[in-house]
Structure 1
Amino acid sequence: MTSESQLAEIFEQHRPRLRALAYRVLGSWSDAEDAVQEAWLRLARQDADAIDHLPGWLTTVTGRICIDALRSRASRPEIPIDQDLPELVVSDDAETPEDTAVLSESVGLALLVVLGSLRPDERLAFVLHDMFAVPFAEIGQLLGRSADAAKMVASRARRKVQDVPQPAGDRRAQREVVDAFLAAAQGGDFDALLRVLDPDVTWRQHTSRGVTVMTGSSAIAEAVRRGQGARITARRVLVNGEPGILAWGPTGRPLSLMACTVRAGRLVGIVSIADPARLAGMDLPQDPQAPASAHQRPRR
């Protein structure tokens, strides 16, 4: 008979996987933690010895909790889930073992943004099947549909996700491209910007006024060059495990955060946040050149 302490130990072994699943579905670390904790509470009320396959049971239960949360969220019109950004992990690009553990559970920002635009059933079906290899028969039970219907839902989600640029190459190569982009932007070098941008690059910008999308290397290079000369400090950081750029104003206040997707030696996708309210609520690295007073975070 499995004791409570043994059950807790087994559950902790599965916690990182369950948290990664819930984060991909919900786009929120705090909501993901709540979902995983609820899965533990449900397990604690079960006869664990009667569960044939505990990993599968935990995946199914966590998925059911997540789909209920998504449907509840979608029913509240005050929450614009189709335009909202997920919670991000932003750190200096020299991560500690703790950072590495969290980043291993994260997923690229560009993909999360698109996942957030999917319907709850599409999002769950895609994440469970394409990311965690859950059979369609089990997904269908979660959605209250047949296995074939669940397969169609996942296929529909896959078509919406297929154009999302996926990073390729090792981290060092990605860093070199982001560094080249940053150097060209700071120097106002239009030709160098064109060399580092893919011709079909897409830049999705989240500002206080809403979301805008810019496409094409020439348009983006020109927009970046127009901002040259502003009094900002910028350096490379990690955004959900991918190299990005964080910029601060002269007082040390964060001005923008960019998540960059690199493929074949060029930037193919950029997602940026330039909304002061959103940036103020994020846990971001500090500007090392800012006055000491700027490093004092306000109490919340």
Structure 2
Amino acid sequence: MSEALAEAFEAQRGRLVAVAQRMLGSRADAEDAVQEAWLRLARQDAAAIDNLAGWLTTVVGRVCLDVLRARRARPEASYDDGLSEIVVVEDDASPEDDAVLADSVGLALLVVLDNLGPAERLAFVLHDMFAVPFDEIGEILGRSADASKMLASRARRKVQGTRRPDAERHRQRAVVDAFIAAARAGDFEGLLRLLDPEVTWRSYGGRGLVVRVGAAEIAAQAQRGARAAVTLRPAMVNGEPGIITWGSTGRLLGVMACTVVDGRIVEILSVSDPKRLTGVTSAPPPSSKE
């Protein structure tokens, strides 16, 4: 392979990894898909490729489609360690912030993974997130441009149908606020009332993932954590109500998200690993402690 072609591929790598990660939900799987495209390119007559960017998108799309179909047949397959990109916006966000959240890989990917079939998912991601024309999407899927457009439209309706109304969002926020208040007050019984008996807490720290299960254990952990001198602010984290936490110097210490069902918290996700927090952007902490 010529040096010029290798450089042209490297110029496309970042975009290709982004495309694959949004379809597969795993950075490692995305890089594998792009590597496969590189191997296939090495076996091709480069002079016969008129549009390298389009050719690579097609190859990566087909590789991802194969992976998605394989996962469909083996639903036990996991995605990395279960944590995708972290997306944080201030709670009571503006419509512009809601748009950022809905289009982000964190929330949109979670919705897509749960609700879309492989063909729908590919059409939705390629067109709505990367503006790939439907005729090119059709070539990847082996369908017409009109059929690809219908797939994307159906996928879009499914994604939009998962967005929660404001009233439900406010009820869930009230549960999370009550949980934080009970933790800070040392109200163990109050915490138990807000937690599902089988609640799970996944905590990503500097030493890796720690999983806790059960209301009593998690209530005790919440009490201990609430003693720290930190500043908190409500936030939406990957589409769920949660908090952002800062230290006394204004350094971001962590984010937490809670999944609320029928008035109780059924799952908690917290991230304090500095490496994972590097890409998290949010408003600066308030000047006074809350």
- TM-score bucket (shorter structure): 0.5 to 0.7
2:172 and 2:87 map into 1 onto residues whose CA distance is 27
TM-score (norm 2): 0.58
1:282 and 1:160 map into 2 onto residues whose CA distance is 35
| Structure 2 unaligned regions, length at least 5 | 89-102, 184-222, 247-252, 259-265, 279-290
Aligned to 2:268: 274
1:62 and 1:29 map into 2 onto residues whose CA distance is 14
**Residue deviations 1:58-106 (CA, integer Å, cap 9, x gap):** 111110011011001111032388xx96522589xxxxxxxxxxxxxx9
Aligned to 2:256: 257
Give the aligned residue type for 1:257.
Answer: M
Aligned to 1:124: 122
C-alpha contact 2:65 2:119 (8 A) present in aligned 1 = yes
Aligned to 1:224: 177
C-alpha contact 2:255 2:272 (8 A) present in aligned 1 = no
1:239 and 1:86 map into 2 onto residues whose CA distance is 12
Give the aligned residue type for 1:21.
Answer: V
**Residue deviations 1:99-130 (CA, integer Å, cap 9, x gap):** xxxxxxx9342211111121111110111112
Aligned to 1:204: none
SS of the residue 1:113 aligns to: helix
Question: What is the percent sequence identity of the aligned residues?
Answer: 52
Deviation at 1:4, TM superposition (A): 2.2
**Residue deviations 1:170-201 (CA, integer Å, cap 9, x gap):** xxxxxxxxxxxxxxxxxxxxxxxxxxxx9716
1:22 equivalent among 16, 20, 23: 20
1:107 equivalent among 100, 104, 107: 104
Deviation at 1:135, TM superposition (A): 2.2
Deviation at 1:8, TM superposition (A): 1.3
Deviation at 1:133, TM superposition (A): 2.0
Give the aligned residue type for 1:31.
Answer: D
1:64 and 1:44 map into 2 onto residues whose CA distance is 17
Aligned to 1:88: 85
1:16 and 1:30 map into 2 onto residues whose CA distance is 13
Is 1:35 equivalent to 2:72 in the alignment? no
- The 3 A distance-change label for structure 1 pair 133 and 90 is closer
Alignment of 1:69-80 (within 5 A): 69-79=67-77
Aligned to 1:57: 55
2:75 and 2:274 map into 1 onto residues whose CA distance is 24
Give the aligned residue type for 2:66.
Answer: D
Q: Please tell me the root mean square deviation across aligned C-alpha atoms, in Å.
A: 4.2
2:87 and 2:165 map into 1 onto residues whose CA distance is 28
2:150 equivalent among 149, 152, 161: 152
Is 1:200 equivalent to 2:166 in the alignment? yes
* Number of residue pairs matched by the alignment: 207
SS of the residue 1:257 aligns to: strand
